[in-house]
Every structure is written in structure tokens, then in C-alpha cells.
Amino acid sequence: MYHTRGGFSMKKGLIKALAGLFCLIFTIFIASTDERPKLDIVLVLDRSLSMIDKIETVKNFVISDTLGTENVKIGDYLVIINFYGQAEVVSTFPVETEADRQKARDLVSNIFTKPKDTHTDIGNAMDIAKAQLEILSSTGRPKILFLMTDGRQEAYPGSKYFTPDFSYSHPLLENARTIAKEGWKIQIVEIGGSAQTKELTEKLGGTYSEVSEQPTAQELAGTVSEFRGIIQVAEVPTLITVPATGEVKLTLPLKSQGFSTDPQVLVKEARIISPVIMETNILGGSTQFTMPKEGELPLTLPLSFPLGLEPGDYQADISFMFDGDTRFTPNVFGVTVHVNSFIENNLWLLILIIIAGLLLITLIVFLIMKLLKSRGVKFKIVVEEHPLKKGSDTFSLSAGKCLYLNESMGVITIVPNRSMRSYARIAGVKGGVVLDPIKDRQFIGFKRQNQNIIGHQVTLKSENSVVFHINFQSV
């Protein structure tokens, strides 16, 4: 059998097409099963004139390292902002292909082609970045805000962040604490370094990296070594209950992702900030721990609140300070601090008092019942033919006790002990008395029924044939 050259070419083309299709399916499969966390990344870049002498080094760093394949991955969402006297959103887009990553590099290259004016408004840049992150709040992805600047805050006189001495204004620092509660990972790289920018970074709850005035590529690359590494508080506490001792164990469920090695974290302070509680460090002692590079860990921190706080609820911020570049986010919590009252602090004592009270009430009821029982039933005996003496005709008989009805020489008497003259036993029962004849034949028409005799009359005929009509009356 012979094959034409055309047929061979068609088979070769089909093999290539199938191979291409296989590669496409494999790529889609790998992308769909990639368990690496996807991020929302906001790059905020200073392009003011004060950056002009290091512009090339910074541009290469952002393009090669910050936007490198280890830091920005397929599936991330990217926001690029540049700022000087004002801030501008350059572009926002999902990184779906390598072409998107190259697009980001090209945009950054264009940003640094020509620096803008001499003013630098970092406060305005943070406002724009915050607005962009809030737009992305529903994505559910962790968020990274990366800001690079030489730290020279020189806002326009019309800006709300303007200060004559070019320091960071109070509104900017106050807004920083609000941003810190959002749980974003914030990293600020400052060229030259300044105490003011370091303070701002701490207020933001971010990581501060300082490089020299003329940084080298290696120096800059070291600032993004764990760019994607994030430790998040899975559930932020909203209520802290403070007992009389002021000692509290606060447990934070932490979750880490994106690290290349297990990170070390050192919490050095936990400051309480409240209008009614003086700002102070309430962390019982520095706490160092190791997080897994991908995983969860419950962190328990000892807190010690000031003694003498009035019972009640206080609104406060708890701000955590760290030693080193690794920290959890958010590291500023808005919480309700509930200071226990005396009763809440001594609940066990209250329970004992309640138990003792119940026991006392039970004892009192028991004694009353016993007293009532001991008093027995009070009744009166009236003999129509020969009444008993006044004062000797009334009796009290408790359950289980008995008296005896005697007759002697035509006189009826009630005595405590049985004798030859006893005709009947009068027994106390619950709620009354019963008559139990000893000499049955002497009682005319009486039937032994063990029923309460009070309110009834019995007829007794003595052995001397004397008839007595005896009435048992309630008193």
C-alpha cells in the first residue's frame, strides 16, 4: 500500500493539533488544581521629583522583583497606583496570563519614565489605595498593600494632609489606625528612612523596610523575600471580659499562607487605646512563636489590665506591636472591654449564698411543719350528762399519740395512760383523731371505722348502766 505525501502531512498536522490540545487541557487542569492562595495586590509607587536620582534602580526592582513570578501569580488581581502631589489609579486588572504580568511591567516602566512634580502626598495615596481595596472587599482573597516612597511628605497646601513642616498630619495617623483594623498586609519600603514613616507604618500595622539613599538591587530584593506570606487572625475578638485580678488569657486563631519557610513571630506589646483607659502596654510579657508556613495555630496571649477599673463596658482598641518583619493581621482590634462587677467576680460566693439560703428556708419549713405536727389536733369533749370541768375539756393530740377515755362513779375523764377503767383509746391521726373502743359492747350503735371522730357524737353505757352522750368538737 502506498501513501501520498499529502496524506502524511495531514497525519502529522493532526498529531500536532492533538498535542496542542493536550497541552492546553493539561495547563487548564494545573491552573484549576493550583491550591496556592490568590491575592488582591495593590502597588502604590512614589513618582515625585525627589525620587529622580534612584528612579532606574527602583523601576528595575519593581519590575523584576515585586512583579516577579514568585510574587505576582496567575489568578491574582492587581491594582497599580502612582502618586506625587496627588494619587492616580494607573490600572486595575486580573492577572490571568503571562501577558497580563508583562502588561504590569510595562505600566510600571511607563510610570517611572518621567517623575512628576515636587509635591508628595502619601495621605492621599493611602486614601486611594483604601478605596480600591474596599472595592475588592467581596472577593474573599487576602490583600496586600505595597507602598514604595522616599518618605518625604510634602502635600499641597490645599490637601487635608498638609502640614507646614511636612510631617505626617494627625488625620493621616488617625486614618492609619482605621486601615490597620481591615486585616490587609501592608508593607512600606522607604528609601533613606525616617522616623515619621516608621511611625506611620506602625500605626498602619504594617511592615517597615528601610533601604539606603542609593539602594542596590540586592538591598531592595531583600525587602520582598516573603512578599506573599500572610498570617491572618481567622476570628477577631469583639469582647474581652476582665476579672478582679485584671489577668486575661486572649486566644487568637491564626492562619498562615504563602511563606517559603515557617515564620518566626515576636509580639512585644499589646497597647490598649481608649478615651477612659490610659494608653498602656497590657501584654504580660513578650511572646514568640513559630507559625507553619501553611496552616493554623491558636495563639494564647497573657493580658494584664490596670487594676481599679470601674465595672462596666468600655470601647477600646487593642494594638499589637511586633519585633521583626513578620506579624499577624489585623493587629488592631476594636473591642468591648467588660470589667466585671463584684457579683460577677464572686459568682461562686453568690451561688453559695443562694444554696445556703435555700437550705435555711428548707430547715425553717421543716421546723414549722414539725412544730405544727407536734401541736397536733386540738379538740373539745362535751359530756351532756356530766360536763367536764372547764379548762379540762380541751385537748391537743398529735399523730401517733393517744389518750384514754375512762369512766368512774358516773364521771367521764380523759387520761394519758390505760387502766381498768378505760373504755376507749383516743388516737391522734393526720388531721384528726379516731376512737378505738376497748370495751366494744359498752358503745351503743358505734361502728369501728377508723375515721375522724371530731364533729361526731358517741353513746357510752357504763358497766353500771349509766348512759353518757359524748360529743367530740373542733376547737
DSSP secondary structure letters along 19-83:
HHHHHHHHHHHHHHT--SPP-EEEEEEE-SGGGGGGHHHHHHHIIIIITSTTTS-TT-EEEEEEE
Cell of 63: 519590575
pLDDT at 5: 47
| Residue 446: DSSP 8-state | -
Max Cα-Cα span within the chain: 157
Share of the chain above pLDDT 70, in %: 90
Choose the weakest-confidence range: 24-33, 60-69, 356-365.
24-33
CB 273 within 8 A of CB 279: yes
The mean pLDDT of the chain is 87
| Residue 451: DSSP 8-state | -
Q: Which residues of 282-301 are buried (b: 16+ CB within 10 A; e: fewer)?
A: bbeeebeeebeeeeebebeb
Task: Identify which of 92, 324, 302, 122 has the alpha carbon closest to the alpha carbon of residue 206.
Answer: 324
Task: Identify which of 204, 208, 331, 337 has the alpha carbon closest to the alpha carbon of residue 267.
Answer: 331
| 115-155 per-position pLDDT tens digit | 666 788 888 898 999 999 999 988 889 999 999 998 777 78
The H-or-E segment that residue 178 falls in is helix 170-180
CB 94 within 8 A of CB 77: yes
35 falls in which pLDDT band (50, 70, 90)?
A: low
Neighbours of 204 (CB within 10 A): 27
* Residue count of the chain: 475
For residue 91, the SS3 value is: strand
The predicted model gives 394-409 an average pLDDT of 91
| 360-398 per-position pLDDT tens digit | 999 998 887 777 665 678 999 999 998 988 888 999 988
Residue with the bigger pLDDT between 50 and 97: it is: 97
Task: Identify which of 409, 410, 438, 443 has the alpha carbon closest to the alpha carbon of residue 422.
Answer: 438
The predicted model gives 45-55 an average pLDDT of 84
Residue with the bigger pLDDT between 51 and 459: it is: 459
Neighbours of 88 (CB within 10 A): 14
Give the pairing type, strands 312-322 and 264-273: antiparallel
For residue 190, the SS3 value is: strand
CB 143 within 8 A of CB 40: yes
Q: In sequence order, which ranges of 255-396 are alpha helices (DSSP H)?
A: 342-345, 347-375
Write the CB contacts of 269 (distance below 8 Å, at least 6 apart in sequence): 281, 283, 320, 321
For residue 153, the SS3 value is: coil
Choose the weakest-confidence range: 27-31, 166-170, 232-236.
27-31
CA distance 356 to 185: 56
CA distance 242 to 303: 10
For residue 356, the SS3 value is: helix
Residue with the bigger pLDDT between 35 and 390: it is: 390
pLDDT at 26: 43
Task: Identify which of 232, 253, 220 has the alpha carbon closest to the alpha carbon of residue 327.
Answer: 232
- For the purposes of burial, counting CB atoms within 10 Å of the CB of 366, is it exposed (0-12), middle (13-18) or buried (19 or more)? exposed
pLDDT at 2: 41
Cell of 351: 451561688
Residue with the bigger pLDDT between 164 and 65: it is: 65
CA distance 424 to 449: 14
Cell of 187: 508593607
Task: Identify which of 55, 46, 190 has the alpha carbon closest to the alpha carbon of residue 126.
Answer: 46
